[in-house]
Structure 1
Amino acid sequence: MISEIYDVIVVGAGHAGCEAAAAAANLGSKILLVTMNMQTIGQMSCNPAMGGIAKGQIVREIDAMGGYSGIIADKSAIQFKMLNLSKGPAMWSPRTQNDRMLFAEEWRYALENTPNLDFFQDMVKSLIIENNKAVGVVTSLGIEIRSNSVVLTNGTFLNGLIHVGDKQLGGGRMGEPRAFGITEQLVSLGFEAGRMKTGTPPRVDGRSLDYSKMDEQKGDEKPQKFSYSDTPKLTKQLSCHIVYTNETVHDILREGFNRSPMFNGTIQSLGPRYCPSIEDKINRFAERTRHQLFVEPEGWKTVEIYVNGFSSSLPEDIQIKAMKHIPGFENVKVFRPGYAIEYDYFPPTQLKHTLETKLVDNLYFAGQINGTTGYEEAAGQGLMAGINAHNKVHDKDEFILNRDEAYIGVLIDDLITKGTEEPYRMFTSRAEYRLLLRQDNADIRLTEKAYHLGLAKEERLRNVEDKISKSQELESFLRETSLKPGLINPILESIESNPVDQAYRASQFLTRPNITLEKLDEIDSIKEVTSQYTDEVREQAEVNIKYKGYIEKEKENVAKLSRLENVKIPEDFDYIKLSSLSAEAKQKMNKVRPKTLAQAGRISGVSPADINVLMVYLGR
């Protein structure tokens, strides 16, 4: 037995576990991070990338909250792209390609340099639960380690089963053993468990590919970064490439369908709808003659390539035979085939908004154990679980982000309120206030909260205050400066926008679809002032001017909804006794136990009529 009693034990050192351990340790808790393998801390199990649509916003939010993911992503980046720039700013999403080995190395270095954080390598086989409270863990060596709380971030390791064609291997990742014991114990305590599936593509030797047959995809000319801190910007980047499958590739893949665990009934669980395997794509979209693949480098110092879009659990001989008919892959050498993996998860309706379980006190779940998919979703949950585990142990208030405050808030509320029967992935469409939750203003939304928690230093808060002040200053200048027809019309005509016959404010021109601040900089008197501001300040001011009406409308909607958020439902409320409630509403609300009327209204199957019944009963 290890005699030291920890404030928080974090089980698992993937993205959720790393963020949970870092957050709780930085808040002052004594932490033990238990992992099955010290060499795979912060491992990118699937694609070597961070961010993307809606996920990039989560990484920015983690960074604004004092988490590490954005910093690690910046330090290990090999390419940066801002996605969806042709759309409105609510859709702009940062994404990096990363050096897989460097990413893990930077995570371990960051954690080893975090005070209050210890490590232990072993498998956790069970929890120590006394008086309905988690008070430690027992490892496979029989070592008991005591703590005041436990955060489970087991990823795909709980009873993990790997599928390659008709072959099956027990494991949490290729080449790594699975974890067992925890699911069985939790089920015996009354938890509901389920199975999910995810998959990964083959890794191939980049030296065996002919890139001349592919389309090069370079990073942004002016690469940005994730972190609001002083992490370095990229000065050189590696290209990705795009290529397409064809009907020959599809025909070969179909040859293996009878040996596919997806089609022969071996795999029963659901995989991620928005990241299907190549065989699933061919089956579901039979009318398509080709599918896009992204050929992504794994790092600066390796020839390993990740074939994004070719996730598969087909037999390895079929995978290799089919790949040889992809343009540029004729002589491909495979490092390892793609595979599917099934694993245990626990439907997240069994959690509170703090990610503490409803059945066992001081026990928290974060990451894929909650039915999510993606590094970013896991990291966001880990951060919140770490904060709340620390706060509970030290008798502080719970910390919850609302849906109008962060994508992390949307993610957790969706999981707790609606649950998920397939791997949950974040999209901008899931956030009803996405114009307020942009990637460019995550620091403005969250840094002050992080400062009051104790996760952000005063310097960070001052930087945010300076950004707000300067963007308001620039906005004022643009709202007060008039531009005469002689100055502005040449610019309007160059972009085929209607000329004007009188002076208007610069801000009024910015509300036109094709006019940007960069365009207005062609006027010397404008550029003389705007060039004094950073790109971040310029972007903030421009978005605030361009979308002022929409932003104010969203804020009004938030204010309306907050009235329902303020109507609390007693924790022990008896829904069964309300005869006017629908049977489904009674069942769902009894299971979820919503804390407010607004949360009750978001539960699938609860109608506006049911909410009206509740409002009447609660005296509203």
Structure 2
Amino acid sequence: MYKMYDVIVIGAGHAGIEACLASSRMNKKTAIVTLSKDMIGSMPCNPSVGGPAKGIVVREIDALGGMMPIAADKTALQFKMLNTTKGPGVWSLRVQSDKIAYKRFMKEALEKQDHLDIIEAACKSVVIKDGKAIGVELEDGTFIESKTVVLTAGTYMTSNVLRGHTSTVSGPEEQRTVNTLSKSLRDAGIRTFRLKTGTPARVKMDTIDFSKAEPQPGTNQFLRFSETTNPEDVLPFEKQEICHLIYTQPKTHEIIHTHLHDSAMYSGLVKGVGPRYCPSIEDKLVRFADKERHQLFLEPESKELDTIYIQGFSTSMPIDVQEEMVHSLPGLEHCVIEKYAYAIEYDAIDPLQMKPNMESKIVENLFTAGQVNGTSGYEEAAGQGLMAGANAALKVDGKEPFVLRRDEAYIGVMLDDLCTKGTKEPYRLLTSRAEYRLLLRHDNADQRLLEKGYEIGLVSQERYDAFKNKMEAIEVAREELSNAHIKPNSDVDEYLKSLGFEPLAHGCSALDLIKRPKITVKGLAKYTGLDYEDQINEQIEIQTKYAGYIAKAKRDAKHLQQMEKMKLAHDLDYENMDNLSLEARQKLTEIRPLTLGQASRISGINPSDIAILAMRVK
């Protein structure tokens, strides 16, 4: 007999993990229902964490006390900082993950977590009474009661695996699917739609000729997602794995074009919309017909496996065609394919029916997170799961929702996009989606979010104290550098000349000198006697060199905050509001924005419509 829970989480993928850990850390009696304990934290697609925008989301998850950054650091095969030739607003960490070690780490983390039960079963339906979620029904008929439910079923809701002209009822990695769960949501009035994603073939490592590929090593410095990770916690650079780069060949393109009608995507078998920013290789060839070749990365999956993941070569071609395609690639002419590629189609929920706190507008106490909300990516899922789990816990306590603004976090950008604009295809975070990306940097995630996480119980006292000490150290260093006077002399002039600057005409503070490109705290240390930990140096340099840009971004964000303070009543009668455009009436009635700021971001809402709403608010 199961006990009454505060929070029940359905699904133990990346969203479910963060959801159940968040509510448990907030001292709520939590249960997570999963088809298989051994699949907790599974990586059915790319064995990696991070990348452009996504890596910053992982840093934000860390600032809010989440587990993904810790697991990613401790099970990484390679660390690589991306976009370092550009400004800090787009720097992003990516790790190649050991998918077996990652799953094991996450399973153990859940088993050790206080206030959390793991239930190995299939969830038949969300039980809804009088418009409220009151628990779940398992496949064997068992009812488990709870105050809130967090649905994170990923690609397991009524999913079909597609290859060529064949459709098989199945979840990812030959796992089972659940066909009744999404029906229980539709019966309650929740809209669902079909989406598609896919994964490439895996080939045996020792059958690849890597001499025909370009080595892609990681970054030779101590990098980490979590502020709690120490150098001894990560794989030393000399022991890290090397990925490899190859390109599709004319023969590859010929094979794909010849068999295009055999692809599930082009044979008419696929009904769902696929990911725009991670398309199948046949979709790339059709959409980018002018490109002579496409990049592919050969990436190891685990130290415990002898398989390589062909990143960028997702396909839904039949197996015999896949054999031809893979063997046309350089270095893979004689390789052995361990697992064949496939596409997978599944039910997702229309995110326009979700509130900014991730609670359903249709069913009270039901929260949704991850790919069921129409997103793609482990990182997007984990960020949503953490927010859904935290908000479910807050709902149990009758507290205000925890919502992040667009100028506070990439997580805030993602959730605002989903519940304001919706999506018709798997949504992926990009740096271009964030209008305040200079404020949402890899380096300052803890400064933006850690205190917020601490206030609602996501972050421990120990972690919060360490953060305060770090911020005090940065302030002390800034003050010392501001007071350190650099006088013109031959040594200083030689240093400046080596960087392309004229000699000093008169003395100035070290902080003033750091405003110049290429001049660093470490570079000035021999003249000031001041040097600090790398992360303190980095903070001072970014804040000093980009001070003007950061100040402008904050001014722009302040205007957004003013609009977010202007609340819109939930029961406003938009249909009969004078002077609103017809499209505005329809969109506002459907989405029911909570603030004037949210209303301004709905597609089809004009400035004149916002002016009318502003007058109504006043």
User: 1:317 corresponds to which residue?
Assistant: 320
Structure 2 residue 391 is the aligned partner of structure 1 residue 388: yes
Match of 2:381 in 1: 378
Moved over 6 A (4+): none
How far the C-alpha of 1:353 sits from its partner, in A, is: 1.0
List per-residue Cα deviations over 1:207-239 (Å, max 9, x = no partner): 100111111111111131111114513313111
Question: Could you tell me how far apart the structure 1 residues matched to 2:121 and 2:10 are?
Answer: 10
Q: How does 1:6-21 map to 2 (within 5 A)?
A: 6-21=5-20
Which residue does 2:527 correspond to in 1?
A: 525
| Match of residue 170 from structure 1 | 169
Between the aligned partners of 1:608 and 1:298, the Cα distance in structure 2 is 50
> Equivalents in 1 of 2:410, 2:578: separation in Å?
36
Matches within 5 A, 1:19-98: 19-98=18-97
Could you tell me how far 1:472 is from its partner in structure 2? 1.9
1:445 equivalent in structure 2 = 448
Shift of 1:518: 4.2
Cα separation, 1, equivalents of 2:229 and 2:246:
36
Q: Show the 5 A alignment for 1:549-564.
A: 549-564=548-563
The equivalent of 2:496 in structure 1 is 492
1:217 maps to: 216
Q: What is the alpha-carbon distance in structure 2 between the residues aligned to residue 243 and residue 518 of structure 1?
A: 38
State the match for 2:430 in structure 1. 427
Contact 1:92 1:438 in 2 (8 A): yes
Instruction: Kindly indicate whether the alpha-carbon contact (under 8 Å) linking 2:164 and 2:267 is maintained by their aligned counterparts in 1.
Output: no
In 1, the alpha carbon distance for the partners of 2:524 and 2:213 equals: 38
After the TM superposition, which of the residue ranges 396-405 and 359-368 deviates more from structure 2? 396-405
Q: Distance in 1 between matches of 2:489 and 2:368?
A: 61
Query: Structure 1, residues 370-403: CA drift from partner, whole Å, max 9, x if none?
Result: 0000000000110011011111112222111111
Residue number in structure 2 paired with 1:131: 130
Q: Against the structure 1 CA distance between its residues 497 and 167, is the aligned structure 2 distance closer, same or farther, given a 3 Å change threshold?
A: farther
1:252-309 deviations in Å (ceiling 9; x for gaps)? 1222211111112211321111111111111111121111111100112221111101
C-alpha separation between the residues in 1 aligned to 2:203 and 2:338? 5
Contact 1:73–1:103, Cα closer than 8 Å, also in 2: yes
- Mapped contact 2:481–2:530 kept (Cα < 8 A): no
Structure 2 residue aligned with 1:234: 235
CA distance in 2, matches of 1:585, 1:125: 39
Partner secondary structure for residue 262 of structure 1: coil
Q: Distance in 1 between matches of 2:248 and 2:489?
A: 53
**Structure 2 residue aligned with 1:267:** 270
2:304 is matched with which residue? 301
Match of 2:614 in 1: 615
Matched, 1:408 2:411: yes
The separation in 1 between residues aligned to 2:2 and 2:68, in whole angstroms, is 32
Gaps of 5+ in 1: none
Distance 1:237 1:272 in 2: 31
Aligned to 2:343: 340
- The equivalent of 1:502 in structure 2 is 506
Distance in 2 between the 1:72 and 1:182 partners? 30
Instruction: Give the Å deviation of 1:500.
Output: 3.9
Residue 249 of structure 1 corresponds to which residue in structure 2?
A: 252
Give the Å deviation of 1:189: 1.7
**What is the alpha-carbon distance in structure 2 between the residues aligned to residue 558 and residue 546 of structure 1?**
20
Q: 1:514 deviation in Å?
A: 3.2
CA contact (8 A) 1:128 1:136 kept: yes
CA distance in 2, matches of 1:301, 1:337: 19
Would you say the 8 A contact 1:137–1:146 is kept in 2?
yes
Inter-partner Cα distance in structure 1 for 2:212 and 2:494 = 43
Is the CA contact 1:50–1:98 (under 8 Å) kept in the aligned structure 2? Answer: yes
1:492 Cα deviation after fit: 3.1
Q: Secondary structure at the match of 1:569?
A: coil
8 Å CA contact 1:485–1:503 kept in 2: the answer is no
* C-alpha separation in 2, matches of 1:178 and 1:242: 35
**Aligned-pair distance for 1:166?**
1.3
Cα contact 2:515–2:541 (8 A) shared by 1: no
* Distance of 1:599 and 1:91 partners within structure 2: 25
Tell me, what secondary structure is at the counterpart of 1:605? coil
Report the CA distance between 1:174 and its aligned residue.
2.9
1:326–1:485 CA distance, 2 compared to 1 (3 A): farther
SS at 1:104 equivalent: helix
Q: In structure 1, what is the Cα distance between the partners aligned to 2:612 and 2:59? A: 40
Q: Pick which of 237-246 and 263-272 moved more.
A: 263-272
Does 1:330 pair with 2:333? Answer: yes
User: What is the CA–CA distance in structure 2 between the aligned matches of 1:499 and 1:349, rounded to whole Å?
Assistant: 59
Give the aligned residue type for 1:353: P
Q: Does 1:189 align with 2:188?
A: yes
Equivalence for 1:287: 290
Whether the aligned pair in 2 keeps the contact of 1:15 and 1:382 (CA below 8 Å) is yes
- 1:347 to partner: Cα distance: 1.1
Q: Which runs of structure 2 are paired with 1:85-164 in the superposition (5 Å)? A: 85-164=84-163
Q: Is the 8 A contact 2:165 2:267 kept in 1?
A: no
Deviates more, 1:225-234 or 1:374-383: 225-234
Question: Which secondary structure does the structure 2 equivalent of 1:603 belong to?
Answer: coil
Show CA shifts across 1:86-105 (max 9, x none): 01011110111110000000
SS at match of 1:85: coil
Q: CA deviation at 1:173?
A: 0.6
Q: Distance in 1 between matches of 2:489 and 2:512?
A: 13
- In structure 2, C-alpha distance between the alignment counterparts of 1:203 and 1:296, rounded to whole Å: 10
Which whole-Å CA distance do the structure 2 matches of 1:308 and 1:420 have between them? 25
Structure 2 CA distance for aligned equivalents of residues 488 and 436 of structure 1: 33
1:457 maps to 2:460: yes
Question: What amino acid is the match of 1:395?
Answer: G
Identity %: 45
Give the Cα separation in 1 of the matches to 2:482 and 2:51: 33
Once residues 517 and 453 of structure 2 are traced to their aligned partners in structure 1, the CA distance between those partners, rounded to angstroms, is 36
Q: CA-to-partner distance for each residue in 1:158-213, whole Å, 9 max, x for gaps? A: 11011111121111213111111122221122111111111111111001001111
**Conserved 8 A contact 1:79-1:98:** yes
Letter in 2 for 1:336: K
- TM-score, with length taken from structure 2: 0.97
1:497: Cα distance to partner?
3.8
1:120 & 1:473 partners in 2: Cα distance?
Answer: 50
- Give the whole-Å Cα distance in 1 for the aligned partners of 2:481 and 2:315: 53
In the aligned structure 2, how far is the partner of 1:395 from the partner of 1:573? 24
Query: Could you report, residue by residue, the CA deviation over 1:64-123 in whole angstroms, capped at 9, with x for unpaired residues?
Result: 101111011111111111111101011110111110000000000001000111111111
Q: CA deviation at 1:485?
A: 5.2
Q: Does 1:598 align with 2:601?
A: no
CA RMSD in angstroms, aligned pairs only: 1.4
Aligned residues: 613
How many angstroms apart in 2 are the aligned matches of 1:289 and 1:492?
46
Please give the alpha-carbon distance, in whole angstroms, between the structure 1 residues aligned to 2:492 and 2:545: 17
Return the letter of the residue paired with 2:541: E
What letter corresponds to residue 587 of structure 1 in structure 2?
Q
More divergent stretch after superposition (237-246 vs 388-397): 388-397
Indicate if the aligned counterparts of 2:110 and 2:116 stay in contact, CA closer than 8 A: yes
| Distance (Å, rounded) in 2 between the aligned partners of 1:314 and 1:482 | 67
Secondary structure at 2:386's aligned position in 1?
helix
* Residue 499 (structure 1) shift: 4.2
Cα distance in 1 for partners of 2:338, 2:551 equals: 53
**Partner amino acid, structure 1, of 2:322:** Q
Query: Matched residues in 2 for 1:611 and 1:442: separation?
Result: 32
Q: How big is the shift at 1:423?
A: 0.7
* Aligned partners of 2:128 and 2:188 also within 8 Å: no
Using a 3 Å threshold, how does the CA distance of structure 1 residues 189 and 197 change in structure 2: closer, same or farther? same
**Does the residue aligned with 2:444 lie in a helix, a strand or coil?**
helix
In structure 1, how many angstroms separate the alpha carbons of the residues matched to 2:473 and 2:321?
Answer: 59
